[in-house]
Amino acid sequence: MDVAPVPSFELVDHALRQLGAGDGATEAHGSFCGLVCILGERAGTVWVAGLLASAPAGSGPESADARLLGELAVATRAALDAGDMSFLPLLPPDDQPLAIRAEALAGWCAGFMHGLGEAAGGQAAHEVLGADTPREIMTDFAEITRLRLGADESDAQAEAAYTELVEFVRVSAQLLFDELYELRRALAAGRVH
């Protein structure tokens, strides 16, 4: 399955600023990824509508910025659906200072937990999220939200630690998405409330 290209971090960040969304690109993308784990195909519509709620007049669902965010949602969901580990969290490019990238990764995890919590409104979703794997992932993501660079680490050590954390977050988000497949199916079929 071919996965659509993900719009760049810069384009997404610009679109969110134009729409007056309070979250930056990383936190907003994390939020979408949390939503899509439970809502599946409906997540994109819910996410973009939420972002448009605070948008200035004239920035409706047909605006270029809203369409770009819709493209991001489609590409992200397709990467997760592919299950081939092509999914990547939307983070600042590697030419940005490590402190900015680390803060963005923490924001992505916070957004993910927020989106997952927002989507998990029903009892069945809460029960599924209480299982061992989802609970462990959420605990780890909560730790990452408090991520701060250590002054005693060398640049190379800090860069390696960041790379490992990004990989952990990427794999964990994919794992949780895969783990919640049956819940998404049941919700889509209207069998769970």
Beta-carbon-side half-sphere exposure of residue 63 (alpha carbons within 13 Å)? 18
3-state secondary structure at position 7? coil
Q: Considering the domain boundaries, does residue 173 fall inside one? A: yes
pLDDT digits (tens, 9 = 90+) for 13-57: 999 998 888 779 999 999 999 999 999 999 999 999 998 887 776
Q: Considering the domain boundaries, does residue 33 fall inside one? A: yes
Q: Considering the domain boundaries, does residue 111 fall inside one? A: yes
Q: Considering the domain boundaries, does residue 80 fall inside one? A: yes
How many distinct structural domains can be found in the chain? 1
The answer to whether residues 192 and 186 touch, using CB atoms and an 8 Å cutoff, is: yes
Name the average pLDDT for the chain: 88
Q: Considering the domain boundaries, does residue 2 fall inside one? A: no
What does the DSSP assignment read for 88-114? Answer: ------TTS-HHHHHHHHHHHHHHHHH
DSSP letter for 151, please. Answer: T
Residue 117: CATH number of its domain: 1.20.120.740
Across 167-177, average pLDDT: 97
Residue 20 tokens read as 């007056």
Write down the pLDDT at residue 52.
86
pLDDT digits (tens, 9 = 90+) for 59-101: 677 788 989 999 999 999 999 999 898 999 999 999 999 999 9
pLDDT > 70: percent of the chain: 88
Q: Considering the domain boundaries, does residue 147 fall inside one? A: yes
Domain holding 20, by residue range, is: 9-188
Q: Considering the domain boundaries, does residue 1 fall inside one? A: no
Q: Considering the domain boundaries, does residue 138 fall inside one? A: yes
Residue 84 tokens read as 């081939």
pLDDT value at 163 more than 80: yes
pLDDT digits (tens, 9 = 90+) for 48-62: 999 888 777 666 777
